[in-house]
Amino acid sequence: MQVFGEIRTGCVPRLRSDSGRAELDTDERSVAKLLSSEQQQLAWGLFVPFEQVQILGPITARTWEPDGGSAAELWAVDELRFLEISVVADDDPETAQRALEERARNGGLTLDRGQEPKTTRVLRHLARRAR
């Protein structure tokens, strides 16, 4: 678990429902179809070779909104499944972190000491699977 601030660039395509799944379930799985025009322009400007990009997944994620200053996300892909619990604290973040860890342990959770960002963990898993 981490006390963190998240920066979102708006460059990651996400399907929040089945509405975009038709594009993924066809034989012609195009990354470009999943991106907004702004995302396509950014990718084009960065010379992203769409014809070489492979769609990986799916990733199932469930989010619980903050409760008492903490929030949770459950991510699952294949056999990989983990829960990230976070807390945002403007004052005394170290104490908030310790309290969150204690609350998690008291709830029967085992804390993973080898922490890394969830996106990194999932992308590494998907990359190994794609080989």
In the chain, domain spans: 9-55, 56-131
Most confident of 16-20, 107-111, 113-117: 107-111
Q: Which residues contact 29 (CB under 8 A, 6 or more apart)?
A: 23, 55
pTM: 0.57
Question: What does the pLDDT read at residue 54?
Answer: 77
Consecutive H or E run containing 93: helix 93-106
Q: What is the mean pLDDT of residues 62-70?
A: 79
Higher pLDDT among residues 66 and 82, named by residue: 82
Question: What does the pLDDT read at residue 6?
Answer: 34
Q: Which residues contact 32 (CB under 8 A, 6 or more apart)?
A: 40, 50
